[in-house]
Amino acid sequence: MRNFRTVATGVLASLVGLAAVVAGPTTASNAQQSKPERVITETPPKQVSYNAFRLKGKVENPQADGTLVPFQGKVLLTKKACKTCNFKTVRKIKVNDKGVFKARLTVPDRGRWKWQVKVKSNATYATTKGEKWTLFFN
């Protein structure tokens, strides 16, 4: 009786664990794919000084009826310093009431930096990334 109980408990635990492993990732990936992305509209960076540019853009949330509502929150400004490097968050920028953000991008003395704007996901929207801007001296 004791052996039967031990074996039955082990089999039941392995089946529950296997069901959680099989069902877990599929539901998470389906939920991630069904989320809409925000709309990021950016103008090309404009040079404001010798080694600095100004990036201006607007973030909007699409609604079910097709309208766009200004985003309220923070936008992440990310920078990539080399080809094999990952994008790293440099600054968090607040948007105004109209969903507009402004950021100052600097240029390195040597090499090139890639800049990108990113908005994190929430329960309703997926993570959204803006255009990649490469800045360098000739």
Q: Is 111's pLDDT higher than 70?
A: yes
pLDDT reading at 99 higher than 90: yes
Specify the pLDDT at position 138.
78
pLDDT tens string 51-86 = 999 999 999 999 999 999 999 999 999 999 999 999
Count of other CB atoms within 10 angstroms of residue 89? 10
Indicate the pairing of strand 112-119 with strand 74-80. antiparallel
**C-beta separation of 53 from 37 below 8 A:** no
pTM value is 0.73
- Give the pLDDT confidence of 17-33 residue by residue, as tens digits: 655 555 545 555 555 56
Fold of 39-136: Immunoglobulin-like (2.60.40)
